[in-house]
Structure formats: C-alpha cells, structure tokens
Chains A and B, each alone.
Chain A
Amino acid sequence: MPPKNSLGEFEQMVLLAVLQKAGDAYGVEVRREIESATGKKVTRGAFYTSLDRLNTKGYLTWELRAVENVRGGHPQRYFEVTPAGREQLMRARQAMNQLWNGLEDVVLP
C-alpha cells in the first residue's frame, strides 16, 4: 500500500488539470481537460472518487457555487489545489525529472 502522502499518477493528472483550468476549474471542465491531454476517456467514477481522496489527503479543496436555470439547479464545484498539493506535485515532478534524466533519446531514438 503506497504511503498516505504520495500521489498516484491519475491523482497527479487531476491536480495538474485543475491548475491548467484555473478560473474555469469546475468538475466537467477538469475531467475534459484530462481526457484531452491523455487522449483517453476518463471514467467518471474514478474521477470523482479521486477528487474525494485528494481532498482527504489535503491536496485539493473546493467551494460550492449555486447556479440558476441550468444543471437542474444543482450547484457547481470550483476546485483549487492547496499549497500542500502543490508541494506534492513539485516533488513528483522532480522525481520524474531525475528518473528521466538523459533518457529522452534513449527511450525513443
């Protein structure tokens, strides 16, 4: 079982997508961002449960915003990555960079 304070690959993508969509970081938009980047479908179940997990770990927060006349009246969630989340992202990035070092040409010459 991976330690509680690490980020899975999909969780990283979720946080990054939230950051990419800053200003427009709502549920549907964030999921579509991931799909566009990976070129693959993202199942909603995995997506929403990941959001909850990230929240529990303290890397992601959201605020409920009421709407009128659309979405059947149901509120929207606006997401934000917490400072702790940003830190974890940087760490993951650094780890990847280190592991990738010098391998760009090796992986696909």
Chain B
Amino acid sequence: MSPARPPQPRPPEWADELLRHAIPSHGETDAIIGDLHQEFEEQLGMRSLNWLKFRYSAHAVEIALRYSLLRVKELSKHSGGEVMGSFIADLKYGVRMLVRTPVLTITGALTFALGVALTTHAFSAVYGTMIRPPSVDPNGDLTFVQQTWPERNIPRIQSLPIHDFERFRDQQTSFNELAGYYQTNLNMAGEEASPERFLASVSTANLLRVAGVAPHLGRVHTDGEEGPGSPRLVVLGYEAWENRFARDPNILGTSIRLNSIPYEIIGVMPEGFGFPFQEKLWITHEMEAAAIEPRGGIYLHALGRLKPGTTQEIAQSELSAIQSRIVAEFPETHAGIGATMQSYMDRYMPEPVRALLWLMLGAVGGVLLISSANVANLLLARATLRTREVALRTALGANRTRVIRQLLVESALLGLVGGLIGLALAHLGIVWFNNAILDIQKPYWIDVRLDGVALAFTLCITLASAVVAGVVPALKASGGGLGAILQDESRGSTSLRLGRFSSALVVTELAVSCALLVGAGLMTRSVMNLKTMDMGFDGADVTIATVVLPENDYPLPSDRDLFWSELVSRLESEPGVANVALSDFSPGTGSQRIEFSIEGATYAQDSDYPRTNASVVSADYHATYGISLLQGREMTEAEWRLDGDPVALVSASFAEHFFPGEEAIGKRIRTGRADSPAEWMTVVGIVDDVYTGSGDLGGLGASLNTPYHLYMPVGQAMNAGAIVGMKATGDPTALAQVVRQVIQSMDSDLPVFNIGTAEQALETANWSFNLFGSLFGAFGLVALFLAAVGLYGVMAFSVSQRRKEMGVRMALGADPTTILGLIVRRGATQLAIGLGAGLALGALASRPLGIALLGVDALDPVVYASITLTLGGTGLIATLVPALRATRVDPNTALRPE
C-alpha cells in the first residue's frame, strides 16, 4: 500500500468562477487564471497559505471589477448614454466625498460590516442546518417508521423490534423499500494502524441502497447479504479509508477485524458521507428473527423513501393497519402499541434547537438594525454638515432627485465596502463556528458555509440596509428651500429638526442593544452555572465507561445479570476503586421519563397518572456519584439483581410532592398504569435532588425538567448496555485502564468505550449551553460596542452643532458646569428611555430562551441589573466625553462666523 501524497494546495475556486463570469468571452480567461495560479504556486512555501489565498482572491476581484467597469462603460456608450454617464459621475463623486471624510467613512463601513457579518453568519448557520435539505434527502421523502405506546404515554418509540420490522418491510407499499439499522461502535484492528473505534451502522442489506449514494469505490451490500450465515462484508467510510489505508486503490477484498471478527472490505463511500447520522462503517446484521421472542432482540430504526405521490396520510393509515395486524398476532406483548412516522430531517434537527437557531437569527437581525441605525446617524450628521453645499447646488439648478440619488449612491458605496468587509468577517465567524461544533454529535450533512445562497442573502441585506440608512438623511438634507436653510444654519434649528430624528434612532439602538445584552447575559450566566452550579452529585473522581453486551453472546436476561454482577464484584475488589455502580445514564446526561402509579391511589383518567424522571441503577449508585442519602438506605446487591425484591429510591422533591406530609419510605410504586405488568416497588430510601440534563439535545430544555426522580433496580429492566461508574480513591484516570483490563479478562471480544470522568460526560452532554452561550455572548458584545459608538457619534455631533449656542452662553457668563449639565441631561434622558424600553423588550424576548438556560430565571435580577449598569455606564461615558470637550471650547472660537 503506497502512502498517499498530500493534496496540492489550490487557490479558491470561487475566485476562478468570478473571473469566468466577469471576463467576456473574447478575453483569454483561462490564461489569466493560469497567470494567477503561476504566481500562487511560485510563492507556496514562502508565504502562509491563507495569505496566498487571500491575495489570489484580491487580485481576482480587482481584475473582475476592472472588466465589469469596462462593460459598464461600453453599455453606457450604446444605450441610455446620458443616464449611465451621470451615474458614473455620481459614483466618482461619491467616492471622492467618502475619501474626504475618512474617519466617518471607516466608522460607517465598519459598523455596516459588523452588522452584515453577524447576520450573514447567523443566516448561514440557520440555512446550513435547517433549510438546505441534506443532499441525501432533497425532496424530504426519507421517513422513519416508528411506534407509539399511548397507554404508557410514550409518544414515540424510535426503533422497532425485528419481528415488527420484518412485517412492516414485507407488507408496506407506501415506500420504495424499508431498511433497518442500529448504531454501534466497532473496534477496527489490522496491521495498517493501531486499533481504532468507529461509529458503525449494523443494518439490513439495503440501507445504503435506500440512501441512494453511489460508492466511491467498489460496491455496497446487495440483497441477501444479511442474517445468520451471510458473508461478513463491510463498506468503509472515506475517512477510515483515508486515515488508515492512505486511500489505497487496491483496498477492495482485503480483510480487517471488527471487534475481532474478520470482515472483507467491499466498498468505500464518498468523502463526507455518514448516513444516517455520522456512521463511518456499514455492516449487515446477523440476527435471526425466528430465534428471537416478540419485542426482543436488538431494535432496528426503520427508514425508507416514500413513493412519489404518496402522502403522509396514506402512508400513516397503511402503517397503522399493519401495526394492528401485528398487535393481533402478538397480543400479550404488543397490546396498545401503534405506528407513527417521522421525517429524516425532523429526527435529527429537533424542535428546540430549531427554535433557538431562529431566535439567534432574529437577535442578529436586531444587531443589523442597530448598525444600520448607526450608519444612518452618521450619514445624517454628514448630510447636515453639507446642507449648505446641497442647498446651493439645488438652488443652482441641480434637481432634487439627482441630489438624493447622489447621497444614496454614497450610502450604497459605504454599504458595499462594509458588506465586503462583513463578508470576510462572516467567513471567519463561520470557520470558528464549524470548529466549535466539530466535536458535537451532529448529523453528517450539516454544512455551514458561505455559498451562493449566503452570498445572495448578504448582497440583499447590504443593499437594503444601505438604502434604509441613506434614504432618510438624503430626503431630509435635500428638503427645504435655500433661504430657510441658510437662515436656520446660523441658529442651529436645522440641527434641531434633524436632531429629533437622530435621537429617535439612538433610543431605538439602545433599546435593541439592551434587549440583546439581556439575552447574552442570561446565556452567559447559564454557561457559568454549568461549571459552578451544585448539580447534586460529584463527578470529578468518578470514572465511567459504557459497556454493551452483544445480543448473540448474551441472549437471555439471566446471562446479562450474571455478567453485570460479576463485573461489579470484580471491579469492587480492585485497589483504587471505592464504589462501583451500574446505570442507564450517568448523572446530568439525561434520563427516562415514565408514568407511574402509587399503590392505593386511583386515577380516573389516563392523563391523571403522574410522571417522573427515572433511572435504572444498581446498589451503591448514589454512593458512587456522591448523591447524598437523606433517609433510609440504598438497594442491596440482592435487590438490584434479576430476581431480587423490587425496591426503589426517590429524590427528595419526589417524596415531598407525591407523599406530602407522609413518610415516603415503605410506600409502593409501579411503573405504568392500572393494568401494568410491572412489579410494585417498595421505596426504601430518599436521596438528594440531582440535575437531570437532557441527553439528545445537548442540555436544551433540561431546566424545564421536574426534580422528581425515581431510581429503579437494574433487575427490573436488565438492559444489554450500561454505564459502569467507579468512584476512585486516588486518580480517576488510572481506572480507565483498570476497567478495560477487567472487562477484557471477562470477555475479550467486548468493546468498552466512552471512557472518561462523570464530570466530562456532563460537560459533553450539555454542549448546547456552551455553544449558544458563546454565540449570544459574541452578539451581545458587538451590540454593546455598536450602541456605544452610535451614542458617542450622535452626542458628539449634536454638541458640535450647538457650539455656537454654547459659546454665546459662556460669553454671557454661564458656568461651564451648567452647559455640561445641559448636554449630559439630554444624553441621559435618551439613555434612560432606551434602557427602559430595552429591558422590557429583553424580558419579553427572553421567554423563548428558557429552554437554553440553566439555573437562570428569564427575569434574573442580577443579569438585568448588571446590563443596566454596563450599558448605562457606557452610555454615560459616551455622553460625557464630547460634553467635556465642548466645555473647553473657547467662546471666541465658537462665536466666529462660519
């Protein structure tokens, strides 16, 4: 196997595309691109790649602009020559005017740039995750077939037992075909590299055919290559092929070991493919349905494409019909179970995340608003300064439309420059964002980048905001007769008229900034809470590992029971291990939610049944994770095992809520409703409340969880998988090796994965707080900056407008402090109004943020108070500085005629 050559660095594709569009056909586009390539290649190794790419892009843009300008000139010669000619004159004039006031121009452009950058970035994030359909599902017809259990209040069981799956597969007609799969992790070992673990899909033979993506090399599984006795064939993901086999083209037919079982490689999927979620390997299952009891075995996710023309309703009714036949066939195990569907995109982009992303887009739109308002103010200021010049020109015959157009052209130019800078900033932001979500468990097709759609969007909002920012100043500056303007100028009342509009803008800015800052503040507090809040448990010195017992090796509950109890006792006897516990979740990473009933209580309707968070645990769970035992005792070993007496523990809130004023210990509880086959469990202990987390969504919505928690014995569920927790007496990292060794010695083929501390697992499982916290935090900072700049600009301008007035006052003996007071009072009023409106707006807008907050109330006083202080303080400084400078004005200078 020959090592692969690292790919040759290439200049950006879009630049070449731009040139192909800009250069007319008789120009030698290819040769020009080649010249740029040549210069690029010559400098490789001497300069950083990013710098060379940037330079390449800059040159391409410059050439494209030149050719475009040429075309515009040609057009103006042929048609509407005069209109074009004057437009170009406007352009040149606009550029000259902007260059003459560099500070204003740069401030305006940067302000625009920030607003455009954030909005484009947020749009790309929203578009890339929720709007652009994944290439594997362009028509949205990929659908999951799932089940429901309304009696047990389970609205959605995501996967089907194999018996059910086969019946759906054979009887359905709404889909082209149904494939089934489950995810697992496989250890790959071979001579090529050290063993590595990959997320794999174990499926029916047709899964990749349902995906409809052709392999990059070789083939995918074909019908019949599944079930017991089928050949062991694996399809590799591109990543595995690249990293382990250096893209060896002769890889097909070679053998590798997956979990110590040899598999033959039959194909390689294209780069970036990870269907259905993030899988990197595809093998087929070896289950034999006949040997498995109903609702037994490993469950399969069922996925297929709806036939064209088949509506949701038709498919749903067919599925329900098939489901009723299944229920009729297996009444004891399947009674009450129904069928449902879920689209592929919905499954992987759940509602709370969507809501949050849209909220982010809205927030960012607010930032754009602020930045446009800022630029409008700047332009207003400048338009006022030039009122005389404009009035003169109007008087001398330039028509008003032309004047307005010229001013609009200037704001458009500002917008263009700002937009381009903003685009560059957005690109950086997207690079950062993709980096930040790199390690998050997300679908493989999420692709956030600056593509044609994002660029078009940027162009539109840039133009729109430039027009908005330019229109009012242009109208105001060009209105009014010459005489009135010249007269007003000396008395400063023009500035008063414009001043009112400007004040309104500033107040709006302040309000929107304040609202944004409220959101940012709340989220920042959540992030801090994640690190500092008392979660009710102590995970720093607990090592956890996930173990999954394969179906084939441990088919019966008694097999699993033996393994788990053996594992626990072996680990307990290891030095360095204080306590050992098994559970379905480690604390803070999620839990089940179940209905239950209390012995002796009656429930009139199904909706009366109480609900609680629930975990399945072994003895010592609470001791292991440092959860305080408040009353009673933990389970004994006999009790958590398969045939033990059913007992349970509950959280303090659970006891208080469901047994108010009574002794909870001794009461009996049962999962499910009145007809539930589960056993009655006796409450033997009460423990401290614990933060539950919400596994799938990175923590979103966790704060809405109730604190009621029920701890049930492992023996009641005897799952195939469990999280093993070990409390370390010394260094928890040493236990990683210990647990691997112990498990290997019990069963050398058994994979052990996700080894880390319980604290790390908590952080990883709650990634949403960090991600959204950073995003909103960044927006908040930008909003603060923009608001401060805006306020300063307006204050400085209005002060400069009233210089004469102040000079007169001071010459007449007014105390500088009084003047200071006048100015500051005006600014403070605007600030107060803006802050008030902003806090109210923020309180409203932060309602939907609730799901993304952790331990923070949407009306948290600390946050609101600190925002008021920060923004208020910044605003006051922005007002004081120009005011102080104003009082140093020499009355003589101020009174001199203009």
Contact = CB atoms under 8 A, between A and B. Distances in A.
Interface of A: 26-28, 43-46, 48-49, 52, 62, 64, 67, 70-72, 74-77
B32 A27 contact: yes
Interface string B31-50: 11111111101000000000
By size class, the interface of chain B is 20 to 34
Contacts of B34: 27, 67, 71-72, 74-76
A45 B66 contact: yes
Contact of A27 (B26, B35, B65, B66): B35
A27 B32 CA distance: 8
Contacts of A70: 37-38, 41
Contacts of B65: 45
A70 B41 CA distance: 8
Contacts of B606: none
A75 B33 CA distance: 9
Nearest to A26: B35
A49 B67 contact: yes
Given A62-B28, A74-B33, A46 B66 contact: yes
19 contacts: A28-B38, A45-B65, A48-B23, A49-B70, A52-B26, A62-B31, A67-B34, A70-B37, A70-B38, A70-B41, A71-B35, A71-B38, A72-B10, A72-B11, A74-B33, A74-B37, A76-B34, A76-B35, A77-B28
A75 B32 contact: no
Contacts of B331: none
Contacts of B27: 48, 52
B38 A64 contact: no
A81 B669 CA distance: 98
Contact of A71 (B26, B28, B41, B67): B41
With most chain A CB atoms within 10 A of its CB, the pick from B23, B35, B38, B64 is B35
- Please report whether the interface of chain B is mostly helix, strand, loop or mixed according to DSSP: helix
Contacts of A48: 23, 27, 32, 63, 66-67
A28 B35 contact: yes
A59 B33 CA distance: 23
A43 B69 CA distance: 14
A45 B10 CA distance: 22
A75 B30 contact: yes
A109 B634 CA distance: 106
B271 interface: no
A70 B42 CA distance: 10
Given A28-B35, A45-B67, A49-B67, A74 B62 contact: no
Nearest to A32: B39
A62 B27 CA distance: 11
Interface in B1-55: 10-11, 23, 26-28, 30-39, 41
B31 A72 contact: no
B73 to A, nearest CB: 11
Interface in B701-734: none
Nearest to A50: B66
Contact of B31 (A43, A45, A46, A77): A77
B10 A43 contact: no
Contact of A44 (B28, B41, B59): B59
A6 to B, nearest CB: 18
Contacts of B67: 45, 48-49
B37 A45 contact: no
B282 to A, nearest CB: 35
Given A27-B31, A45-B66, A76-B31, 15 more contacts: A28-B38, A45-B64, A46-B66, A48-B27, A48-B63, A62-B28, A62-B31, A64-B31, A70-B38, A71-B41, A74-B30, A74-B34, A75-B30, A75-B31, A76-B34
A43 B70 CA distance: 15
A76 B11 CA distance: 17
A64 B32 CA distance: 11
A45 B18 CA distance: 13
B30 to A, nearest CB: 5
A46 B32 CA distance: 13
A43 to B, nearest CB: 6
A44 B30 contact: no
Among B28, B33, B63: residue with most chain A CB under 10 A: B28
Given A48-B27, A76-B31, A71 B63 contact: no
Contacts of A75: 30-31, 34
A8 to B, nearest CB: 14
Contacts of A77: 28, 31
A72 B72 CA distance: 31
Contacts of A28: 35, 38-39
Contacts of A45: 62-67
B19 to A, nearest CB: 10
Contacts of B59: 44
Contacts of B41: 70-71
A85 to B, nearest CB: 18
A67 B30 CA distance: 12
A64 B28 CA distance: 9
Nearest to A31: B35
A43 B39 contact: no
Nearest to A77: B31
Nearest to A64: B31
A26 B32 CA distance: 11
A52 B66 CA distance: 12
Most buried by A among B34, B38, B66: B34
A71 to B, nearest CB: 4
A24 B70 CA distance: 29
A91 B356 CA distance: 72
Contacts of B11: 72
B155 to A, nearest CB: 55
Contacts of B38: 28, 70-71
A75 B41 CA distance: 15
Contact of B63 (A26, A44, A62, A76): A44
A52 B25 CA distance: 11
B62 A72 contact: no
Contacts of B31: 27, 62, 64, 74-77
Contacts of B30: 64, 74-75
Give the residue among B23, B27, B30, B67 with the most A Cβ atoms within 10 A. B30
Contacts of A64: 28, 30-31
Nearest to A43: B62
A11 to B, nearest CB: 15
Which of B26, B38, B62, B64 is the most central at the interface, judged by chain A CB atoms within 10 Å of its CB? B38
A36 to B, nearest CB: 15
A52 B23 CA distance: 11
Contact of A43 (B26, B35, B66): B66
Contacts of A46: 66
A104 to B, nearest CB: 36
B33 to A, nearest CB: 5
A39 B70 CA distance: 26
A71 B35 CA distance: 7
Contacts of A76: 31, 34-35
A60 B114 CA distance: 46
B46 to A, nearest CB: 16
B514 to A, nearest CB: 46
Nearest to B63: A45
A49 B23 CA distance: 9
Contacts of A49: 66-67, 70
Given A27-B31, A44-B59, A64-B28, A72 B66 contact: no
A102 B872 CA distance: 74
B760 to A, nearest CB: 45
B613 to A, nearest CB: 59
Contacts of B62: 43-45
Contacts of B39: 28
A41 to B, nearest CB: 11
A93 to B, nearest CB: 28
A44 B15 CA distance: 14
Contacts of A43: 62, 66
Most buried by A among B32, B59, B65: B32
A84 to B, nearest CB: 19
